[in-house]
């Protein structure tokens, strides 16, 4: 077939529509039905954003534009194919790359400029002759983040977004509840080393896994991890300079009252086993908090970070999902766009604002809000009484205050604490190596665990801070454990993620938590609930030695005194259920 080559460079100064064009590259087109253009869009502060525009050759009327904004430059045809699909479905397709990527000459700083840059890209698109003034966006992970970032200051041409497993920097990654976690360390090289993607680094999992364990074994401070790697990591250093959810993170996407300005319909898609679920649901919760009448829909089920962006997976972390759980994310996305832009039918799966798959029941349910997913709760206290060699969860508050004692030696690198990650989702045995397990009586009837569990820990420690983990399991009638939800958090930020409040040593302190992973699961009669609590100490996140100093600057030299924790029996968890 004849190849059509359109070679162009467009420089736009603010909203100036005058164009300057020159050859950039040869975009191979497999069909002569498309016009494909390479463009550079100049932002208000003088940076240049590289983008590709695709439209039908015979198209003479302006059309709605479907925009993807991403840091991932896929040069093997994937990016062209995805914008061609938008064109084939009756839209104009555009993909824009983060500042510094592809043909952009600027420096690469993930997250930092996407709010203003994506706005400027939307502004440029809105005045092109092939755009009818309406723009929609979609995509997952970083692409989900850029959609929300653009709504920091909403552009009137942006009519809807469809974010999947959207990242919220500072809220889920590179830190979770103010605890820095490791995956973004290597990711920064993957996206930041060159104009495309550093796949050599991205595929070198051994290098970074070895680095994690070398950091763990040597005991150097978290902030000096790149000194062990021998390659400076400027992105990691920038992030660890901001251990609180401060203005650096707040400016990257809508924050607090910013959500009240968002008045477009939104469809979010997420997963129970998406590592950064608290990022995606943060946007949803805050949107409804600041605008109770928001038109914001959610689809959520047993999906991983990647599964939610595709069609789910028949097996996730060893768990075979219900057949009813599998969806076609891409098809639902374009059904939504046709609903918004072409007066099409709303996707059938959207029965109400919150649409969720019930694991174990092979069915979908809907609710008007996250709170309406449940109509009751099971409140359990963490007792000091043993049942079958582990401690009991009791529905009755203990009459007498008591506690369980735990000692954690941070200079010991042979033992890890807090096995919280849901892989596998179903496991044979509970972790009895350290921490404490609490189990309920068997359920007398089946219930639906629906939503995010909350709780309150009463603790007394000999230091100024510590990181904790709480994991919720179903103990099935056959004795196997089904991972439902978890949280890792920093005690000193439990009241306020923006401002650190150190604990007073040897004083009973109250630690409230709520930012746990949302889940829906049918628990059968005879199942039990199990709560696992522990101090977070392992090679997969920074170590909080409890001195009160900046945690990323603490090292094994601060581990001369072991951490002593008293977990009090008036501590409780509250598990939302639907009767």
Instruction: Provide the token pair at 548.
Output: 């009160």
Query: CB neighbours (10 Å) of residue 380?
Result: 23
Predicted local confidence at residue 388, as pLDDT: 75
Average pLDDT over residues 146-162: 98
Whether the upstream peptide bond of residue 424 has omega within 30° of 0, thus cis, is: yes
Q: What's the CATH number of domain 376-578, 2.40.170.20, 3.30.559.10, 2.60.120.260, 3.30.1490.20?
A: 2.60.120.260
* 522 vs 324: CA distance, rounded Å: 14
Q: Which residues pair with 93 in a beta bridge?
A: 54, 66
pLDDT for 401 beyond 90: yes
Average pLDDT over residues 23-48: 78
pLDDT for 10 beyond 50: no
| Residue 244 CB-density burial (10 A; 0-12 exposed, 13-18 middle, 19+ buried) | middle
> Residues 479, 480, 482, CA angle at the centre, nearest 5°?
130
Every domain of the chain and the residues it spans: 179-240, 376-578
Question: E strand or H helix at 127, and its extent?
Answer: none
pLDDT for 19 beyond 70: no
Q: How confident is the model at residue 31 (pLDDT cuts 50, 70, 90)?
A: low
| pTM exceeds 0.85, yes or no | yes
Residues 276-305 have pLDDT tens digits of 999 999 999 999 999 999 999 999 999 999
Residues 262-273 have pLDDT tens digits of 999 999 999 999
Predicted local confidence at residue 165, as pLDDT: 98
Beta strands in 275-389 (DSSP E): 296-304, 315-316, 319-320, 354-358, 363-367, 376-387
Return the SS3 of 189. Answer: helix
* 375 vs 579: CA distance, rounded Å: 7
Torsion sign, CA atoms 208, 212, 213, 214: positive
Which of 2-16, 68-82, 367-381 has maximum average pLDDT? Answer: 367-381
> Residues 207, 433, 557, CA angle at the centre, nearest 5°?
55
Residues 168-198 have pLDDT tens digits of 999 989 999 999 999 899 999 999 999 999 9
* Alpha carbon of residue 179 to chain centroid: 14
Q: Give the alpha-carbon dihedral of 464, 169, 103, 200, to 10 degrees.
A: 60
Q: What percent of the chain has pLDDT over 90?
A: 92
Alpha carbon of 268 to those of 61, 271, 296, 321, 337: distances in Å?
30, 10, 8, 21, 13
pLDDT for 21 beyond 90: no
User: Across the chain, what does the average pLDDT equal?
Assistant: 93
Q: Are 71 and 191 in contact (CB under 8 A)?
A: yes
* 94 vs 251: CA distance, rounded Å: 25
Q: How confident is the model at residue 8 (pLDDT cuts 50, 70, 90)?
A: very low
Predicted local confidence at residue 25, as pLDDT: 42
The DSSP string of 417-478 is: B-----SSSEESS---SSSEEEEPPPPSS-EEEEE--EEEEEEEESSS--EEEEEEEEE-TT
Length of the chain equals 579
Helices (H), 13-113: 78-88
Residues 469-526 have pLDDT tens digits of 999 999 999 999 999 999 999 999 999 999 999 999 999 999 999 999 999 999 999 9
Residues 302-316 have pLDDT tens digits of 999 999 999 999 999
């Amino acid at each position: 077939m004849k190849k059509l080559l359109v070679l162009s460079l467009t420089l736009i100064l603010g909203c100036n529509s005058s164009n300057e064009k020159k050859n950039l590259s040869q975009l191979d087109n497999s069909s002569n039905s498309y016009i494909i253009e390479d463009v550079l869009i100049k932002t208000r502060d003088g940076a240049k954003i590289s983008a590709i525009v695709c439209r039908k050759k015979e198209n003479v009327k302006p059309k709605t534009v479907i925009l993807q904004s991403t840091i991932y430059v896929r040069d093997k045809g994937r990016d062209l194919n995805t914008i061609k699909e938008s064109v084939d479905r009756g839209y104009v397709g555009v993909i824009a790359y983060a500042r510094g990527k592809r043909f952009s000459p600027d420096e690469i700083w993930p997250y930092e400029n996407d709010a203003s840059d994506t706005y400027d890209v939307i502004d440029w698109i809105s005045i092109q002759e092939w755009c009818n003034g309406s723009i929609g966006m979609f995509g997952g992970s970083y692409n989900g983040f850029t959609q929300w970032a653009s709504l920091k200051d909403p552009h009137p041409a942006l009519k809807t977004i469809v974010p999947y497993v959207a990242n919220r920097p500072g809220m889920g990654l590179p830190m979770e509840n103010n605890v820095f976690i490791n995956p973004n360390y290597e990711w920064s090289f993957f996206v930041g080393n060159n104009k495309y993607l550093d796949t050599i680094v991205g595929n070198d999992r051994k290098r970074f896994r070895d680095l994690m364990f070398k950091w763990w074994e040597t005991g150097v401070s978290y902030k000096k991890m790149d000194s062990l790697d021998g390659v400076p990591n400027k992105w990691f250093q920038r992030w660890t300079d901001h251990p609180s959810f401060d203005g650096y993170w707040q400016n990257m996407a809508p924050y607090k009252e910013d959500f009240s300005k968002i008045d477009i319909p939104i469809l979010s898609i997420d997963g129970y086993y998406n590592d950064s679920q608290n990022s995606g649901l943060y946007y949803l919760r805050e949107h409804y908090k600041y605008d109770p009448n928001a038109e914001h829909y959610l689809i959520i089920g047993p999906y991983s970070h990647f599964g939610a962006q595709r069609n789910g997976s028949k097996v996730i972390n060893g768990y075979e999902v219900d057949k009813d759980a599998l969806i076609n994310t891409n098809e639902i996305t374009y059904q939504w766009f046709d609903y918004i832009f072409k007066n099409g039918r709303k996707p059938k799966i959207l029965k109400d604002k919150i649409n969720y798959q019930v694991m174990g029941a092979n069915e979908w349910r809907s609710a008007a809000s996250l709170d309406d997913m449940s109509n009751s709760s099971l409140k359990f206290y963490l007792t000091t009484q043993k049942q079958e060699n582990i401690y009991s969860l009791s529905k009755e508050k203990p009459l007498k205050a008591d506690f369980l004692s735990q000692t954690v030696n941070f200079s010991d690198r042979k033992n890890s604490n807090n096995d919280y990650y849901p892989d596998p989702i179903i496991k044979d045995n509970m972790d009895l190596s350290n921490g404490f397990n609490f189990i309920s009586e068997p359920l007398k009837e089946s219930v639906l665990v629906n939503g995010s569990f909350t709780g309150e820990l009463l603790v007394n420690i000999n230091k100024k801070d510590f990181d904790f983990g709480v994991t919720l399991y179903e103990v099935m009638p056959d004795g196997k454990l089904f991972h439902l939800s978890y949280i890792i958090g920093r005690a000193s930020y439990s009241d306020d993620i923006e401002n650190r409040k150190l604990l007073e040593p040897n004083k009973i302190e109250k630690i409230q938590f709520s930012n746990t992973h949302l889940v829906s699961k049918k628990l059968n009669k005879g199942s039990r609930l199990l709560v696992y609590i522990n101090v977070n100490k392992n090679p997969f996140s920074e170590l909080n030695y409890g001195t009160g100093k900046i945690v990323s600057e603490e090292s094994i030299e601060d581990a001369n005194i072991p951490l002593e924790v008293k977990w009090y029996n008036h501590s409780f968890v509250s598990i939302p259920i639907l009767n």
